[in-house]
Each structure stands twice: as C-alpha cells, then as structure tokens.
Amino acid sequence: MVDNKSFLDEFVQSKIEQCKVLVIGDVMLDKYYFSEVKKISPEAPVPVAKVVKQKETLGGAANVANNLTLLGCQTYLVGSVGDDYHRIGLEQQLAEKNIDYSGLICSAGPTTTKLRVMGGHQQMIRLDFEETMPLQQAEEEQIYAYLEQLFAVGIDSVIISDYAKGVCTFGICQRAIQLCNHYSIPIIIDPKGTDWAKYAGADYLTPNLKEINEVMPELILNEDTAIIKAAEYIKGQHAIKNIMVTRSEKGLSLITNGQTIHIPTLAQEVFDVSGAGDTVIAVMALALAGKLAPADAAFLANLAASVVVAKLGTYAINKKELLAALSKI
C-alpha cells in the first residue's frame, strides 16, 4: 500500500489535464488484417487468408503519445513520416486522439508501418514498410525550429522514444536535452542501440535489461545488486542523472544520486508485454510533468504497466483504468 495514495488519486483524477508533454521519436502505424484460413493456395504451398476485419493503431513514439492523451494529457508529437498512403492513416489516428502532430515532418522515406496478417489468434506474417536512414540536416533544422517555438510557449516534460528508425539522431537528442536543461524541464529517454553518448545530460533513461546488456562490458543478471552496479556505470559513462530499469517479472528499479528504489511488479496476469515500455515512459513523464516526486512517478508508471501487460497486443492505458488500478492498492 503506497503511503500517499490520495495524492496520486487526486493527480490522476483532476491534474493531468494541466500537463503538457512533448514526445520526440520514431512514429509508426500498426496495421492488422484479421483473417480466416481454411485452405491452401493452388498457386503455392501457402495458406490462403480471407480478410474479415482490418484495424489500425498507433505504434512506436505515436503509441507513447497515445498513452498520454488517453490519460488526459495535452500531447505534442515530433517525428518523421513519408508522403504516402500510410501517412494518411497515421494522421487520421492522431487527429482522432487529439494529439498535436504539427511537429511531424515529411521525409523522403516511407511512413514506418508494421502490417500484421493474423490467422485466427496467430500471427502469420508481418510486413514492414520502413527506411532506417537518419534524418537529413535540413530535416533536423525543421525539427529544431519547431522545438524552439514549443519550448518558448511552454512544456512540462519531454520524452525521447528511440526505435532506431532515424529520427533520434545525436543532434536531435542533444538539442532536446539542452533545451530541457535550459528551461529546467525533465527529459526521459527510452534508449535503443549501443550509442548512448547521444543521451548525455538527460534526466532519466528507462532501459530494460536487454538494452542494458547491449551497452555493458559484461553480462548483467536480473538481480538488485547487478542492476544497481550497471546503472551507476551507465550514469558515469554518459552523464545521465537517473536510471529507471524495467525488469519484467521483477518490476522496476529507480536509481538516483541519493536513492535506489526497487518496485515489485503489480501484475496479476501477464498476457503480452508489447507496449509496456511505452506506457512506463509515458506515465513517468506525465507524473514528473505534474511535479510528483520521482519515487511516486515510478510507482505510478509501474502500476500502469501492470494493467497493460494483462491485455493482448500493444495497448494504451486510459484514465479510468489507472484510477481503477489505484483503487485496488
């Protein structure tokens, strides 16, 4: 039982709407074709999938933004899309969710899209439409100009959601971190790959165990002492102020300069962990935007993740679900 439950209830119930959070990163469109499979093709030894339903959802950094807006936050999104059919579907989704996507730039590559063909409850194939080249200098300059404008108007926290698709370049990451430091705004980064030097100076990094092991000189096990050691190493190597490690069935650990907090998982059932990292970083950034203490922000993020992993597929939590989860602790 958390000590200040009533304070967290009040924040979720009535103060989220005042928060403005910016998401920078690799936006994606997730498409699903649900089908019935009853025969094999006469053309080749492959199943014939008769499509009975289609679905489009927000993915990548756009799913982080979706988590924020469903909780009631004022949400801004920066990223890159292509001049193609999938861009139309993505922007329709963003508009319906009331996410401000005026920070999206149009690049030469395609809109990153993951198309999954489902046969019953089983995924048969995934088709990826993507180009992972980094942004051009002129495209980075467009984003810089947008960030300068938005920060001048006012923002409460910033998320960098890096999926290694090209948006989160060294220049973009460092410009965002510098602006956040200048305006005293917390910035939280979900890292990807092995080049973490581009995150130097960030307030929070939220890696999972697999991501940590990609940058550590030796294998780190999912144990408290090893996690703390790895976090301190990363903080020292890359000038990161705080590390919050998501640890699957062991919950999460928040390692700051003066304190280490291990928060056990609250999930009763785990069906699917896809999208859980997006939820963690979204709720963490939202709570920090609302001036919650880091420990309380981490607790709320862990609680939100416990709801998401009990759902099938990529899922974004809403305010009603988060309040219901709070009522049970």
- pLDDT tens digits for 64-106? 999 999 999 999 999 999 999 999 999 999 999 999 999 999 9
CA distance 11 to 14: 6
- Whether the pTM exceeds 0.85: the reply is yes
Task: Say what the pLDDT of residue 121 is.
Answer: 82
Task: Say what the pLDDT of residue 311 is.
Answer: 66
Mean residue pLDDT of the chain comes to 91
Kindly state the greatest CA–CA separation across the chain.
Answer: 67
CA distance 69 to 61: 13
Catalytic residues: 278
Task: Say what the pLDDT of residue 5 is.
Answer: 74
Weakest mean pLDDT among 81-95, 159-173, 282-296, 302-316? 302-316
- Is the CB of residue 63 less than 8 Å from the CB of residue 29? no
Radius of gyration of the chain (CA): 20
Residue 186 CA, chain-centre distance (Å), reads 16
Query: To 5 degrees, how large is the angle CA 64–CA 143–CA 187?
Result: 45
Mean pLDDT of 35-39: 92
Task: Say what the pLDDT of residue 54 is.
Answer: 94
The yes-or-no verdict on residue 6 having pLDDT over 90 is no
> Which domains does the chain carry?
5-28+57-112+131-327 (3.40.1190.20)
Residue 267 pLDDT class (50, 70, 90 cuts) = low
Task: Say what the pLDDT of residue 273 is.
Answer: 53
CA distances from 315 to 156, 169, 234, 328 (A): 24, 27, 30, 21
Higher pLDDT, 82 or 306: 82
CA distance 218 to 231: 13
The yes-or-no verdict on residue 198 having pLDDT over 60 is yes
- Is the CB of residue 247 less than 8 Å from the CB of residue 209? yes
Percent of the chain clearing pLDDT 70 (strictly above): 94
CA distance 209 to 221: 8
Q: How many CB atoms lie within 10 A of CB 179?
A: 20
Residue 136 carries which DSSP code? P
